[in-house]
Amino acid sequence: MIRDNREDRAHYIRKLADGYYADVEKVVLVSDNPNTHNASSFYDAFPPKEARRIIEKSEFHHTPKHGSWLNIAETELSHLSRQCSDRRIPDKEFLIREIKAWNMERNEKHSVVNWQFNTEKAQVKLRRLYPITN
């Protein structure tokens, strides 16, 4: 049976909840795509009782669609992939050395993210979430 991404994610979260984090009360999940990453996917993947059990053990937090720290992390990983690991890496030790060298160079250049989504833009685009305070 081929499952879509929603069901794959539901099965993975059940594996987290019942395996790696079986001893915890809640598994906190941070997601960057609230359209597809929500509790309803558990009902698509499991019988209702099982879906409810996993949902009750899970706590969902969605990052903002715009202005998320996750966007910055994805940008950095994209730079890493294009500037450092875009070739065959023979072993783990070599990869670690290459990433350390890349990271040192990024830090020496004082690389920054030119974040252009500011409060004013948020007040326009996300007006229901950001009240105008002027």
- Per-domain boundaries in the chain: 5-62, 69-125
- pTM value > 0.75: no
d(CA 29, CA 71): 17
In angstroms, the CA 14 to CA 44 distance is: 13
pLDDT at 35 over 50: yes
**Which pLDDT tens digit goes with each residue over 40-55?**
889 989 999 999 999 9
User: 65 near 84, Cβ under 8 Å?
Assistant: no
Tens of pLDDT, residue by residue over 108-119, are 988 887 777 777
Share in percent of the chain as helix, strand, coil (round to 5) = 55, 5, 40
In contact, 79 and 85? CB cutoff 8 Å:
no
